[in-house]
Amino acid sequence: MWRRVASLSSSVSSSFLAQTASRLNTWESLTTGIAQQAKGVIAPKEKTPFITFVLGGPGSGKGTQCIKIVETFGFAHLSAGDLLRREIASKSADGAMILNTIKEGKIVPSQVTVKLIQKEMELSYNHKFLIDGFPRTEENRVSFERIIGVEPNVVLFFDCPEEEMVKRVLNRNEGRVDDNLETIKKRLTVFQALSLPVINYYSEKGKLYTIKAIGTEDEIFEQVRPIFAAFETVG
Ligand SMILES: Nc1ncnc2c1ncn2[C@@H]1O[C@H](COP(=O)(O)OP(=O)(O)OP(=O)(O)O)[C@@H](O)[C@H]1O
Ligand SMILES: O=c1ccn([C@@H]2O[C@H](COP(=O)(O)O)[C@@H](O)[C@H]2O)c(=O)[nH]1
Ligand SMILES: [Mg+2]
């Protein structure tokens, strides 16, 4: 819903609309949206999306802090890992491939993950998104920018020592197929090799906010809170 109506504005030119729709690859749904808006079926929503990528190693506390950000600042929380696990549970065509990839601690092809994120964004009435655990690789990042057509406003990096991450994951007890020592080691290697370059990229772009992810959940949230509070006052 966000995507279908976000670009609608009677004051923008048709060429701008065409460019925007083409970039987002949503011409069909956009024109449907215009027709529906004309009929008064849906209200115009002109807010531009506000996107936060939430990055950090396995067990660094991304999901835990996302819950607090949602409660305090009203974001929609899209966990890439949860979307992939939902595909496995629903026995979709990609389910078996995703399961094997997660068991190996490897990264699911970008196209699969970006499509799942795109679908959730389209369905959301919110315009503020927390995208948790994505992008994991430079290829993920480029793919998101190409398919969704927007860049993040904020990138959070939960910086946590490896031994603390391992301890947390082994104590998590949620029955995840990748919460075992063998897979955790692989995930940490993948994080160092493929995800840190993404974090460095956003650091160079001035979009990175590094959180020291050690201490109680509340103490860590007190580092996160001012980041979003500052954006709220800006409007
Ligand atoms: N500050 C903290 N101190 C101790 N334990 C924590 C803290 N934050 C989260 N945890 C616990 O650590 C575990 C991992 O946290 P969480 O699931 O939020 O991490 P994550 O970064 O989302 O991990 P993954 O990438 O594997 O999904 C959970 O059991 C959670 O309750
Ligand atoms: O963008 C993504 C996100 C996740 N994966 C795979 O899922 C697991 C678990 O992800 P969590 O964020 O820790 O829940 C991860 O190790 C990857 O195997 C992915 O491929 N791409
Ligand atoms: Mg998580």
Query: Is the shortest distance between the CB of 216 and ligand 1 below 6 Å?
Result: yes
The rounded radius of gyration (Å) of the Cα atoms in the chain is: 19
At residue 110, what are phi and psi to the nearest 5 degrees? -55, -40
- Domains identified in the chain and CATH numbers: 1-47 (no CATH), 49-234 (3.40.50.300)
Distance from the alpha carbon of residue 81 to the mean position of ligand 2, in angstroms: 4
Tokens of 6: 């976000």
CB 168 within 8 A of CB 59: yes
* DSSP 3-state of 77: strand
Q: How confident is the prediction along the chain (235 residues), in pLDDT tens digits per residue?
A: 655 444 433 333 333 333 333 333 332 333 333 334 434 344 445 689 999 999 999 999 999 999 999 999 999 999 999 999 999 999 999 999 999 999 999 999 999 999 999 999 999 999 999 999 999 999 999 999 999 999 999 999 999 999 999 999 999 999 999 999 999 999 999 999 999 999 999 999 999 999 999 999 999 999 999 999 999 976 5
**Residue 113 confidence (pLDDT):** 98
Ligand 2 site residues, Cβ closer than 6 angstroms: 58, 80-81, 84, 101-102, 105-108, 113, 133-134, 136, 140, 178, 187
Ligand 1 pocket mutation pick from 53, 54, 62, 64 by most atoms within 8 angstroms of CB? 64
pLDDT in tens, 76-103: 999 999 999 999 999 999 999 999 999 9
Q: Which pLDDT value is given to residue 1?
A: 61
Q: State the pLDDT at residue 88.
A: 98
pTM for the structure as a whole:
0.86
Q: Rounded to an integer, what distance in angstroms lies between the CA atom of residue 193 and that of residue 228?
A: 29
Confirm whether residue 140 is marked as ligand binding: yes
Task: Please tell me the predicted confidence (pLDDT) of residue 186.
Answer: 98
Q: Is the CB of 33 under 6 A from ligand 1?
A: no
How much distance in Å is there from the Cα of 96 to the middle of ligand 3? Answer: 20
**Of residues 226, 65, 230, 50, the one with CA closest to residue 157:** 65
pLDDT value of position 233:
78
